[in-house]
Amino acid sequence: MAIVYKAFDPQRRIPVALKVLKREYLHDPQFRARFKREIDIHSNFRHEAIVPIYAYGQAEGQLYLVLGYMAGGSLEDRLRDGKQMSPREVVALLNRISPALDAAHKQGIIHRDLKPSNILYDEHGLAFISDFGIARLAEQASQLTGNIMIGSPAYMSPEQARGGITLNLRADLYSLGVMIYEMLTGTLPFFDPNPVRLALKQITAPIPDIMAANPKLPQGSREFILRALAKNPDDRFNTAADMTRSLAEIVSGERVSGRVVQASSAGQAPSSRAAPSTATPQPRPLKPAGAGPGSSEARPSPEKVPTPRPLKAPASMPHFPLTSPPVISQSSLPGFLRPFARYLRPPAWLRKPAVPYLTVPAPLRPILGIFGVPNSIALPKKMPGWLFILLIILVILAVLVAIAAAIYWLIVLRPSGSTSGVWISFALQH
């Protein structure tokens, strides 16, 4: 529902992410309300592991949101092409984001769209939860979304796929469980190219055996996934911290199949293991948030996030941000070349385009408009950069060939002594 630009904050002197509601949604009251709700959620709820908000407002009728710039990419990038993460890396990530998720749940905020692309990393490698655009305040009436199924089918809980029921925090815990499964195995527990069939699988398909997908996982991983992806919300974990603590105990060897055992000092597997239990483990009392398994050190205190406020206007722009757009960093190339700036750098040739559309230069719009060419030409979302450059080269070659053919026809084939006009008239008549 929005486009995100990399921008520059002239007051803080740092790069930021500028999230702007798409123009086609400006007159849709539902999308405007949903975008404003994201602003309200970010304004009233802040955490060290949630993408910070610096400013928000409206410029020329267009809503925008200024967020912290995450230069480290997303979790989706790290899981691309079936890549896996070690169990300890998964626990480290959960230790980072689970307190933020629990804090949101305590305030009645349900994300409803947890997935790897919404876990972003900053330049230091710290993870942040992003995109609360379709988060839902539990106490708020569902007048914005009604019974519409919202979310990503691959990470959607069964009750979310059914629709028509009130969701609670365990919908987010299910999505977190799907992410854990994908991080540990490199594959999704349920997949279908058709989103409707995929949503039905979330409701009816049995939970796959994670040990079959990755036999190297520690004992107890199967029981953990069975509880994390339980079809009945009441059979899942109570909190994200509970999930993190349970997985950490499995990884460290302290708990196997629901029983606590003592691992050997040499790091080998315990000598006696209990048979896998089919019963759902009873939730255990929460430990203090600062304590982790096998660690006596407390977690660092949450960093202070600046209070959201609109950017102050400089002297030359007294009405900013109501009448003047935010400052967006631009390249030094001429205007008509800026859409191609990303492709002029060799590292971008193997990546997909950064611009979703091409803007036709203003002088050419009246001419091209006669042939029905729009002012903005949409690009395929998955078009790689090298293919885009190849298409441009082919178009240029086609134009050059057409010009060469015209010159050859007018000069070489024209009979001696005849003018170009007479030759063209003769060719048209015959």
Domain assignment present for residue 128? The answer is no
Sign of the Cα torsion 43, 44, 49, 50 reads negative
Is this prediction's pTM over 0.85?
no
Number of separate domains in the chain? 2
Q: Exactly one of 102, 113, 131, 172 is catalytic; which is it?
A: 113
- End of a domain among 208, 236, 260? 260
In the predicted model, what is the mean pLDDT of the chain?
74
| DSSP symbols for 155-203 | G--HHHHH-SS---HHHHHHHHHHHHHHHHHSS-SS--SSHHHHHHHHH
pLDDT for 17: 93
Contact predicate 45/32, CB 8 Å: no
Tell me which residue range forms the domain holding 217: 84-114+135-260
Q: Is 113 a catalytic residue?
A: yes
pLDDT at residue 412 tops 50: yes
Asked whether residue 237 falls in the same domain as residue 374, the answer is: no
Query: Nearest-CA neighbor of 304 among 6, 47, 69, 5?
Result: 47
**Of 218, 245, 260, which one is at a domain's C-terminal end?**
260
Does residue 345 lie within any of the structural domains? no
Give the pLDDT band of residue 179 (cuts 50, 70, 90).
Answer: very high
Residue predicted with more confidence, 222 or 256: 222
Domain containing residue 140: CATH number: 1.10.510.10
Question: Does residue 372 share a domain with residue 254?
Answer: no
Q: 319: pLDDT confidence band, cut at 50, 70 and 90? A: very low
Q: What is the pLDDT of residue 165?
A: 74
User: What is the per-residue pLDDT for 223?
Assistant: 95
> Same domain, yes or no, for 106 and 217?
yes
Please say if the pLDDT value at position 269 is more than 60: no
User: What pLDDT shows up at residue 248?
Assistant: 95
pLDDT, average across residues 156-167: 84
